[in-house]
Amino acid sequence: MSHFFMNDKNHLVNEAIEGLIQSAPYHNISRLEVDEDIRVVVRRDWDKTRVALISGGGSGHEPAHAGFVGKGMLTAAVCGDIFASPSVDAVLSAIVNVTGEAGCLLIIKNYTGDRLNFGLAAEKARGMGYKVSMVIVRDDIALPDNPQPRGIAGTVLVHKVAGYAAEQGQTLEQVTQLAEQTIEATASIGLAFATCHLPGEDRDERLNAGESELGMGIHGEPGVTTLATQNSREIVAAMSEKLLARIPQGKQVVLLLNNLGGFSMLEMALLVRETLASPLGKQVSHLIGPATLVSALDMKGFSLTTLVLSPVLEKALAAPVETSGWQPMFKYQAAERLAGKKSRVQSAFTPSENQQNARLLRTICHTLVALENQLNQLDAKVGDGDTGSTFAAGAGRLLNALDNRRLPLNETDKLLIHIGEQLALVMGGSSGVLMSIMFTSAGQKLSEGASFADALAYGLERMQHYGGARPGHRTMIDALDPAFKALQQGASLSEIAAAARQGAESTATMKSAKAGRSSYLNAHSLDGIKDPGASAVEHVFAALAKE
């Protein structure tokens, strides 16, 4: 099975670049028309009197690098194939087309292919009379003994700072010097649960379930160590400790939280919380992200980057840009919780006794408690297997209140309203809310002078109004509706129970469900199986008929 969405592998990068340009919010980028194999995204509004900034590398790290082309950041990005450095000719084409008398700065990540291809292009350009400088980002600290640290997410911060300097009209020497200062002040470390899916290839599953790899490369290269955990707090503690050791005493940093492509925003938000709660968090004054800035296709991983701030770097990072990929830096400020009032208001009543109401309520609750396993087994065939437990939880709470004489048994309207409140507290999912709506509405209608039968019918109508289900939709309503109608017509309990039974049995022949989890099943999966909620209603009325 393919895990990569594409039309044609051979045209994937070209078509993706076209889509990026079409969706650029500032309409300020284009692709150079040179050759089909030369992919250079450039600013359309470039002023050649300023220093040009060129970056690039293999595709698959989006939005890097083309997503950072625009005012305030890159002048051009040279895009290679997936995880492959662009050719010397492609880099040289970028230099020739965007470089004026002010010269250009090449910003590359520390990988052999990028160093060689960009380096040779720089030499050729110099031979043609162009002023070219180059900086190599080496922010990865996961492999401390490696003489050639890799360039990862910190590269984007170098783009941003150098872009600011170029936009201010600084010289090539000044822009290069500030870029080098940024590189020296930047440190990154990444971790992944699994490597990425390459187009048309199966993923190499190096890790076992429950493991993570510290320092896995952004091309899927093995990391420095395998951790026997996927616990967010433990992982962040290990990573932040290494970053903290690189920060000079008393210095503040900007923290970049980068998604490598496969983590959800929920997970990334958790990582923000964990990182700021760690000792590293005490030295964080600004944040960037969480966001995907330098990805590794769909790698299930993330990276943390710190940049030791100075007034100049802070100003450069805060400057506005016109690119699709950059995420604005903002000043971190711990949020204080606001005191609030509980919105839930319980109805006021005085506990009272009524033997008949107590007997009926006890019968209903004991019936639902006894049905727990049976209803769960039935629900396991058409739902998530918890209907019995849900009803039993509500019944158990009411039995406890009944045994402890905490119910207004002699005031039926208040009793129904209180039952509705209690069911909403303990019955999970939508069923608890629906039952609460029915009993609460019925109690309110009863307090207005309606009959008991009409009040229950009104409560059922309110349940249908908010829940959306109707008779014939294969829910508990198929048993409740005929039972309540029979009650309104003055039928006996045995006749009401018969109506409920007939309604519940009808659900077993319905070919489809229009509400609840059963609505996702086909006719074959539902055939001959009663709806669990309707079955519960059937058994309750059958028990009441025996009283």
Residues serving a catalytic function are: 219
Which positions ≥6 away from 351 have C-beta within 8 Å?
A: 405, 406, 407, 408, 409
3-state secondary structure of 241: helix
Q: Whose CA is closest to 107, among 157, 64, 70, 56?
A: 56
For residue 101, give the amino acid letter: E
CA gyration radius, the chain: 33
Q: Whose CA is closest to 13, among 77, 70, 95?
A: 77
DSSP lists the bridge partners of residue 254 as: 286, 307
Answer yes or no: are the C-beta atoms of 83 and 118 closer than 8 Å. no
CA angle (512 as vertex; 386, 393 as ends), nearest 5: 15
DSSP 55: E
Residue 282 burial (10 A CB sphere; 0-12, 13-18, 19+):
exposed
DSSP 58: E
Q: Whose CA is closest to 218, among 272, 316, 140?
A: 140
First vs last C-alpha separation in the chain = 60
Answer yes or no: are the C-beta atoms of 409 and 359 closer than 8 Å. no
Alpha-carbon 194 to chain mean position? 18
Containing 40, the helix (H) or strand (E) segment is strand 40-43
Q: What is the DSSP string of 419-462?
A: HHHHHHHHS-HHHHHHHHHHHHHHHHHHHTT--HHHHHHHHHHH
> Cα-flanking dihedrals φ and ψ of residue 257, to 5°?
-105, 110
